[in-house]
Amino acid sequence: MCGITGGWWREAPTQLHQQLQGAVSAMHLRGPNDQGYELHSVPNGVVALGHTRLSIIDLSSGGHQPMYSSDKRYGLVFNGEIYNYRELRQELSSLGFAFNTDSDTEVLLTAWQCWGRDCLTKLVGMFAFVVFDKLAGTLTCVRDPFGIKPFFYTLENGNFLFASEISAIKAIKSEKITLDWQRAYDYLVHGDYDSGPRSFVAEVNHLLPGHIVEIDVANGQVTEPLAWWKPEIAENKAISFADAADELRERFLNNIRLHLRSDVPLGAALSGGVDSSAVVCAMRHVEPDLPINTFSYIARGSGVSEEAWVDIVNQHVRAVPHKVVVTSSELANDLDDMILAQGEPFGSTSIYAQYRVFKLAKDNGITVTLDGQGADELLAGYNGYPSKRIKSMLDIHQYIDAYTFLQNWSDWPGRNVKDCIKSVVAEYVDGSLYQLFRKLNGTGHSPAWIDTNLLAESGVFLGHPRQLAPSNVAGRRLVAELAFSITRRGLPSLLRHGDRNSMRFSVESRVPFLTPDLANFLLSLPEQYLISQQGETKSVFRAAMRGIVPDEILDRKDKVGFETPEKIWLIGMEDQIRAWLSVDIDVPFLNQKGIINEFNLIVAGKKPFSWQVWRWINFIRWYQLYF
């Protein structure tokens, strides 16, 4: 696991060496074991490749980057892991290629040398990398199918710059960074972030998951980002539920085997829910003698504690448990460090619970953890996207089935018919009618603490940034939504949280649910296999894990995860929060006095508590630290 940076400059700035060193240094926690950069003169400019390394596979100096192919044509900087590198190495060896190291980096480089872009569909892993082709005169930038590993880029005065973190982009830019007002509005008012190519910093973009972009170093031309992978949702109607469960079991266990490949100690993040429990139990199933260390956040004394479920799993697999209990004062002390680690604003204090879990892993000598992230988005989550499932049934005139499903679904904890009907109605409205619908539902677009006139004058769209899954497949609305969730809305923010929190402590977080073959398999299943007619989500996965995961876990109807007692924490910190909110950050459209007034009303119980409080804190502290 690493950090990468570099780019192409038409004319190298006089301070380029200092900028590159600053960018590499800004990412030192992503790669504390080795770092460096190299410059290459090209006919019309200079190419830079920088890298900072966290050694996971082949701990020797043979894994140093930039790495160059045997014919010296290609140079590579790579952040991530290729889990099937042994199989690819064997295939490449049979084609006549020789290897000098045991690293997956050399396998990736040789695969590109052999197959070019066609190698991408052969990779099982998480990655963001850049290949410099000296002969063709191109820089090719690639991000893995789910965006597990980050990749930022920007154009500045015709120059192309890239990095794994915004802090590194900031270091290699010659000009100061500025705020993207649209993203700030979307986050502050609607809680939307990481749902598209734009970051919170103006003109700095994410390369979207499963996309590739190329730069011609002769003239600086940059191609439009192109999707090299998209999830498939065509239904496999021939497979039975039992056969689907059997195949899913085998695919998942194989993923676990691949994700256990490591030359350093590894463990697992355990929340007590179905997904993380399945990962831990599958680790024991495929490696009966493997020492397993688990790391859990415990909201002890709170209604959101999952400690009892965590204990069941730890006892079942004979794991060494490590638990962390967090207080609001610890959140206050760590706030700035966490915000700097995340690089951009984020959703809630639950991210702090995850931050502390990775710190706990680091403190106990663990460098790699496995995590259950991505299962909700592939298996219809804990609520099951009921409006999408109902719309699928209505598409094909299964009206009685839709009504029965609604009744069964609403019987589960935390669900009700009224909210489900609202969400179903929302499926059939769009545009201005949808925005009106949200407003009538209590979600306004113009709170008193935002100067919406100024935002509108600057071209900011003042509405909910709704994104619709690009599919009109009748009867497949649910899987279309899941496919969209794993690449555009939902999962990208969760993966960002995990990547930045783990890298803050130089820990590599692996997500074995997220491989293209497993995703395509799950999205090909009949929708009722994912969420049953009785309202059971992850139905086929629960069946697949019988005999591996304790029945008490598989039969759970609730899920909390790393949820924190946010209201208790934040209301208990009211004096500190007022102090944070009172620091004038001089953002023209933000009325900070109005924010403090709103906060006072919430503390007094005159307005309901919401995640909005955290967004105010997070944004204002982030802006102060970054700008």
Report if residue 270 sits inside a domain: yes
User: Do residues 213 and 153 touch, judged by C-beta distance below 8 A?
Assistant: yes
DSSP conformation class of 225: P
**Residues 199 and 119 reside in one and the same domain:** yes
**Residues 373 and 395 reside in one and the same domain:** no
**Residues 161 and 264 reside in one and the same domain:** no
**Residues 131 and 210 reside in one and the same domain:** yes
Helices (H), 396-451: 399-410, 417-426, 431-440
User: Do residues 121 and 115 touch, judged by C-beta distance below 8 A?
Assistant: no
Report if residue 233 sits inside a domain: no
Per-residue pLDDT at 441: 59
Report if residue 559 sits inside a domain: no
CATH of the domain at 63: 3.60.20.10
Taking 70 as the pLDDT cut, the residues of the chain under it are: 1, 54-63, 301-303, 431-444, 471-472, 559-563
Per-residue pLDDT at 109: 97
Residue 451 corresponds to which tokens in the numbers above?
Answer: 């100067």
Whole-number CA gyration radius for the chain: 24
Report if residue 504 sits inside a domain: yes
Global pTM value: 0.92
User: Do residues 383 and 537 touch, judged by C-beta distance below 8 A?
Assistant: yes
**Residues 19 and 107 reside in one and the same domain:** yes
Q: Which of 154, 30, 616, 567 is nearest to 345 (CA)?
A: 616
**Residues 593 and 540 reside in one and the same domain:** no
Contacts of 9 (CB under 8 A, 6+ apart): 16, 45, 46, 48, 159
**Residues 108 and 202 reside in one and the same domain:** yes
Residue type, 582: S
Q: In the chain, how many domains are there?
A: 4
**Rounded to the nearest 5°, which phi and psi values hold at 138?**
-135, 150
**Residues 147 and 251 reside in one and the same domain:** no
User: Do residues 244 and 518 touch, judged by C-beta distance below 8 A?
Assistant: no
- Distance, in Å, from the CA atom of 626 to the CA atom of 339, rounded to the nearest integer, reads 10
**Residues 600 and 495 reside in one and the same domain:** no
Virtual CA dihedral for 332, 373, 539, 486, nearest 10 degrees? 110
* Cross-strand partners of 76: 67, 131
Per-residue pLDDT at 137: 96
Residue type, 594: G
- Distance, in Å, from the CA atom of 320 to the CA atom of 265, rounded to the nearest integer, reads 13
- Burial (0-12, 13-18, 19+ Cβ within 10 Å), 440: exposed
**Residues 411 and 349 reside in one and the same domain:** no
DSSP conformation class of 83: T
Task: Look at strands 266-269 and 211-216 and give their pairing.
Answer: unpaired
**Residues 91 and 202 reside in one and the same domain:** yes
CATH of the domain at 534: 3.40.50.620
**Residues 524 and 428 reside in one and the same domain:** no
Per-residue pLDDT tens over the stretch 234-246: 999 999 999 999 9
Domain that holds residue 421: 385-474
